[in-house]
Structures are given as C-alpha cells and as structure tokens.
Amino acid sequence: MRAYPAVRRSETVDELHGVRIADPYRWLEDADSDETAAFVAAQNAFAEPVLAALPARDAFRERVTALLGAPTRGCPFERGGRIFAWRNDGQNQDVLVVADAVDDLEDGRVLLDANALSADGTVSVTAASVSPDGQLLAYGTADGGSDWRTLKVRDVVTGIDLADEIPWTKWNSPVWMPDGRSFTYWRYDAPGGNGLTDEMGPGRLMVHVVGQAAEADETIWERPEEPRMFARHWPRDDRWFVLSTDTGSSSGNDLAVAAHGAYDLRQLVEGHEHEWNAIGIRGNTLFVVTDADAARYRLVAFDLDPGMHGSHRMREVVPEHETDVLLGASLTEGGLVLEYSHDASHRLQLAATDGTLGDAVPIGDGVSLTGLSARATSATVFVTTSSFVDRGTRHVVETDGPRLVSHRTLPTPGPAAPAATTSRIRATSTDGAEVPAFVVRPAGDDGSAPRPTLIWAYGGFNIPMNPGFRAVLAAWVDAGGVLVVPNLRGGGEFGSDWHKQGTKARKQQVFDDLYAIAEQLIATGVTTPAQLALHGRSNGGLLAGAALTQRPELWAAVLPGVGVLDMLRFHRFTIGWAWTSDYGDPDDAAEFPALAAYSPLHAIRDGVAYPPTLVTTGDHDDRVVPAHSFKFAAELQRAQATSGSEAPILLSIDTRAGHGMGKPKDAAALEFADQLAFAAHHAGLAVDAVA
C-alpha cells in the first residue's frame, strides 16, 4: 500500500443550515503559513518521482514543446493607420509588433516584448489596448500567473514607457476615451491581507489621464453598498459613454448610457435578467446582442438620443436564428459582420445595418473564431480561426456593406498540423436530451478497435467548447490517442437555455451529460473503461472531480486541473462570489442541498477504490485558490489508503503559476507532459506512439 505524505487533520466543523460539515484541512486555506508551505513541498516531493518514471513523459514533453514552440500569429487590428498584431516564434511569451500594412507584419517592429519583463518568463502581458489614433499603448502586466495586474503606458512611436503606473487592477482591459489621452479601467484597494486568497471587496471604474499620477484618477462609477457588482465601459465611442454592470460571471447585465463628460447615466435595460452585449455605435444608434426573448440571441438597436419621445426605443435588427446561435456582431464601414455558432462550430455572415442578410465569409468548416477585428470606419475585417489540429489561420476580408468583395489568408510559418479526422457523435442524457461531442481520431485510425481516449470537457459559465487548437490535446492525438470534446449543458454552444439547464440546482445534469457520452463511447467500441481518461480545468476541474467521486468505475485516469472542488466555501475567496450565478450560493438554504450533494471534496468516501488521479494547481492561482486542490488531494489520498488500492493519487503544484493565463511555455510543456504521460500510462497508450 502506498504511503502518502502525512497531512494533519483538525477537528474543524461548520454547521450550515443545520448540517454539520467537517473541514479537517481548513488550515490549508492559509497560503502564507509554514505548514502549508511544508505540505506543498511534501506533495511535490511525493509526486515528482512517480511522474518522472512515466515512460512517455520525455517524449510528450518533446512533442508538446515542439507544438508550443511552433510560430503563432494573432489577429491583426488597425489603429490610426497602423497595423498591430501579437506573434510568437517559440518564446515563452507573445510579442506585440506594429507595421504600416498587414502584409508587412512579418517584418514589423517589436513594440512590446513580454519576454523582456522577467528573467524566467513568468511576468506576462494580460491586457493591451492601443489608443484610436495609434499613438499610445496601455498594457497590463501580471506576475506569476496572478489575475492582479499593473497598468502602464507606452509611446508607440518611441517604444518607451511613460511614467504612468497603476497597481491593483483586474478584469477590464483599458478602454480609451474620446480624447485618446485617457482611459477607463477597473481598480481595487490594495489588499490588506493575502491578495492571492482574500475575498474581493468592492471595486470601482476609474478614468486615468496619461501623465497623471494614479492617485489622482477619478472614480466614474462605484457601488460600495453592493460590493458584488462589476462594471465596464464598452463599446468605445467619441460621443456616448455606455456602462455595463453585472453581478456574476454568467449572470445577466444591465446597460446605461450618458454623453461623455456628463455621466448622468440613463438606464437602457435593468434587472440583470438577460445578457445585453453592446457591440458598437453608429451615430445615435447602439447595437446590442441579447438573449432577451431569444435563447439563441438576436441583434437589437437602441436609439440613444430619445428626443421628443423621451425614451430609448429598441428595435430588432437581426432576429433569432432557427438553429444557430448569434455569438456576436461587429460594425463595418457599411454594414455588419455576424458571428454564428452552428452545431458548436463557427461561421461568419455579412449583413446590412437594417438586418438584411448578405454574403457568407468562407472561413472553412469545423473551425472556431479565435479573433475578429472590425471597425465602423473600415471595410476591412481581420479574422483568425483554428481547429483541433490547426494552430491558426489569418483571414483578410474586404467588404462592401453586406457584400463580400474579397477574401484571402495570410501565410503562417511553421510545420504542418498533425493529421487527424473530426466527426460528431450524439448521446442521450438522463432527461432525454441529445448531447453532442467532437471525436478527433489520429491519422490512420479506422475505428475498428477500441483506443486509449481522452475526454476534455468543461460544461459551465456559458462558455462553448468549440474545435480550437490546444497543444495538450493535439499532442494526445499526434501520439495515437482519440480525443473527445463534449458539448455539455452549462456551456454556450446552443444558446442561453442550454447554459441555464446546467446551472445551480440543475448542475448535476452537466455530470449526467458527461456520463452519457462516456457510456456511448464504451458501448460503440470507441474505447473501454480501462482506456478512458478524463481531463478538465477550472470549472472543468470541478467536472473531473465530480465524475471521479460519482462514477469512479468509468475512468482509467482522471486529471482535475485548477479545479473548483470545495463547493461549500468557493465563494469566500477572491472572485469566487461571482460564480454563484452558475453554481448557486452555499449560504442560501434553498441552494445549499444541491451544492452539498455533488461537492467533490465532500463526496469522497472511505473504502472506495478511486482511479489513478493527478491533481494539478498553481500556488499563485488567485482565481480558483489552490486550497481547493490541496484539500481535495489530501482527503482523496487518505480515503484511497483505506481502500487498499495501489492506484496513485498525486498532487503536483507549480510554485510560480496561477490559473493558467500567461504561463511560460517551458512550464506549460512540463505540466502538459506530466498530464499526458499520466493519462497515457494508465489508459494504455503505447509509448512508442509518441516518437
């Protein structure tokens, strides 16, 4: 029997709504304590020899390093006649370049090199916004993967930073004001305790004037009496200031409007019941994508100048589609470009501003939009797409209102994508609904025999799982494994109803959808339980933790990454309160039972033989604090020991990483290699297939 690291258990017990809840590892929530540091060191010391001995670790690290190191090119965007784009030629962090024309980007001047911000590549650029005249760059840097960022300003012509420095900001990218010399941003007070774990207090929307000290910045919106509200200024317009406010990560939002300088806000919509995603302004007309009276979303327009009638009248521009979800829209010089999701893949269509549909844009089948840049003053639209095996394709689209004038792609240097085929399957879930999934097979696999299979899933916060490129997934397919990406309830693939069917008291439906897909894969001979691995991050880490504790017999290996695993205390740390919009509030007696029923930490049982499990997190994760993973792994190791099972339960902690954003490529390659090698070893993927 394995001898796991000894972990102290306390007698801590809470009583919630009359139910006694033991929390023996509460002390692991103190990220600064010596005892927690010793726990981290002991767990890494225990996990590393096991991971180092995995036969495919080195081969996977080499393959993932090659995939991560292949050149990438971001979506171009124009400001003040200059063309900007992010690019990477194998560095740890991306580089922002600027050129006079899109075809000159390969030889563009480096404006901002994030690799020069730290010796180890752990300082990243997590926000960037160029002023409308192309003269100034406002950008935010984060250390060690934290969500906290410091804003700075750089002169585009000289490439030199100005004296401006704004600490303790999060979430919003800077949005420039009409003068092009000031911008809005979201700011918090400096934390009084641990900034990586303490619950977020009230923030405020500020405006910063370039050259002015941050202490002199003006507050233009705040609700200190409602600390769990958040606001952003968008879209940018020279006449109108539009404010969006919300109360959670996937709740509805309200919109208010004012003339710049006055800020006597007038509400357009209120109640936080629906999504109102403002996309652009033409004259006095604000265009908004909404799910109000349209589960698959529609485009509406508000008259921002009420005039004699005294109200901001709304009219429908593009009605809800019969089958496809309207993801977003952008104004062009003479019309609109509409972004649709069709069976979880993306398509683009042009339209007139009165809603008359025009030409489709040929971006390919089975792809995801990873970037789109359009301006109301330009007929040119820049687009980037990817798929499960395509690292990225850049499109330059010329429009004439709703008509397509021309379309071309820009070359991207680097090796060809791994060869694979993608298909769709559908399984019937517990409530009779059909749940689809992408199945990606390596070249040469005819499906005649079961194969080691990796499910990558999420199922939450209205976020869709589309066919986008991820090095960790492409490496699995390239090694000969089958990849399955389900479109579970809770996600955003099929509209707001699909999302809501997997939230709060209905969260169990997301897990049931996953089991339906897994059981169909087994029943149809795609794989077997001895060959089936499950991986998910963040909310997907919750999914993996729930699936591990509810259906341990289904999996050959489970890999919960940076997961939300303590569903009774998630809301007490950093921004966790915002997730109650999806999960419910454990402090609410009506919502507590559903959370307690599936909370992975509290579902672990003695004597159950759990499958091989690799839990991963970062000690700088201030979104899903690492205590979730610490407590879950400690309790899972203790319970596994009572079962007599030799299946390993490992906890691997990156001591210079956060939730994942901005992680250096070398660190990402090691994490991915560990995960893939662990899954391959326990699912039976042959090592020689990774050469």
Task: Tokens 């800020």: give the residue.
Answer: 263
Tell me whether strands 298-303 and 285-290 are parallel, antiparallel or unpaired. antiparallel
Is 659 designated active site?
A: yes
- In the set 312, 535, 659, 681, the catalytic residue is 659
Contact 656, 122 (CB under 8 A): yes
Is 566 designated active site?
A: no
Among residues 132, 139, 89, which one has the least CA distance to residue 112?
139
CA angle 341, 439, 582 (to 5 degrees): 55
How far is 594 from 516, CA to CA, in rounded Å?
20
- In the set 368, 387, 496, 538, the catalytic residue is 538
**Torsion-angle region of residue 565: left (phi > 0), alpha (psi -120 to 50) or beta?**
alpha
Is 674 designated active site?
A: no
Contact 424, 440 (CB under 8 A): no
The amino acid sitting at 61 is R
How far is 70 from 413, CA to CA, in rounded Å?
8
How far is 88 from 69, CA to CA, in rounded Å?
8
Task: Tokens 């009230």: give the residue.
Answer: 202
Three-state DSSP at 276 gives strand
H or E segment and range at residue 512: helix 508-523
**Greatest Cα-to-Cα distance within the chain, rounded to the nearest angstrom:** 80
- In the set 217, 621, 654, 674, the catalytic residue is 621
H-assigned helices in 301-394: none
Among residues 288, 320, 402, which one has the least CA distance to residue 353?
402
Tell me whether strands 557-561 and 532-537 are parallel, antiparallel or unpaired. parallel
Q: Which residues contact 322 (CB under 8 A, 6 or more apart)?
A: none
C-alpha distances in Å from residue 42, one per residue of 7, 30, 176, 518 = 9, 16, 48, 34
CA 548 to chain centre: 23
* Catalytic residue numbers, as ranges: 538, 621, 659
